[in-house]
Chain A
Amino acid sequence: AQSVTQPDIHITVSEGASLELRCNYSYGATPYLFWYVQSPGQGLQLLLKYFSGDTLVQGIKGFEAEFKRSQSSFNLRKPSVHWSDAAEYFCAVGDPNTGTASKLTFGTGTRLQVTL
């Protein structure tokens, strides 16, 4: 079964600083990989996704993520954080081989705090 680990429960960065959120997955092959963001009191919004091809993926709001097969990682990055990026971030994996309703498995989330 697939699984996702987000080792950082809580991260604090200063506005304007760079950001990297870690995500490690466990799966026998290359899964589908996603990053979602959840603002307080809201549902989850898709930031970016990886299926195959170029290992560096660009998303919305200036985020990017890099798939590293050798490390089973899919870390999320942003070169300069804005105060509005304060939210909870979830990494998720999907099984490419399940056909129709592909279930996503989510990590436990990383809460990002941005200081001014």
Chain B
Amino acid sequence: DVKVTQSSRYLVKRTGEKVFLECVQDMDHENMFWYRQDPGLGLRLIYFSYDVKMKEKGDIPEGYSVSREKKERFSLILESASTNQTSMYLCASSPNGRAGNYGYTFGSGTRLTVV
């Protein structure tokens, strides 16, 4: 089974802290994605990556950055956490080619609370 692992299920951070959310997949997928999920808003794409060291902005990249130094790992960085970044963060991966052919495999999510 494809597995996407997010290192933390729950995180509590203080305003202004630098926060790292880690995601690792074990199926050699080329593409990785970070979404945030908020009630009534569904899932919104923050950033995605289609190759090592490559990244592209999604729909809501402000306040976030990403890092992909290795194929299996995709990190989401909150440079200076703010309370409006309190949310559920979901990582996903998919193989190359027509990624839509396969759908995504999601991690279990990290619920981040910024106080």
Taking the closest CB of chain A, its distance from the CB of B56, in whole angstroms, is: 7
Interface residues on A, range: 20 to 34
B50–A95 contact, CB under 8 A? no
**B90 located at the interface, meaning its Cβ lies under 8 Å from any Cβ of chain A in the complex:** yes
Interface 1/0s, chain A 41-53, versus B by CB < 8 A?
A: 1111110010100
A-B contact number at CB 8 A: 75
Q: List the B residue with the shortest CB-CB distance to A106.
A: B43
Which residues of A80-110 are within 8 A (CB) of B?
A: 90, 94-96, 99-109
- The SS class assigned to the A binding surface is loop
B42–A51 contact, CB under 8 A? no
A90–B43 contact, CB under 8 A? yes
Taking the closest CB of chain B, its distance from the CB of A27, in whole angstroms, is: 12
A43–B108 contact, CB under 8 A? yes
**A63 located at the interface, meaning its Cβ lies under 8 Å from any Cβ of chain B in the complex:** no
**B78 located at the interface, meaning its Cβ lies under 8 Å from any Cβ of chain A in the complex:** no
The winner among B4, B90, B103, B104 for most chain A CB atoms within 10 A is B103
**B25 located at the interface, meaning its Cβ lies under 8 Å from any Cβ of chain A in the complex:** no
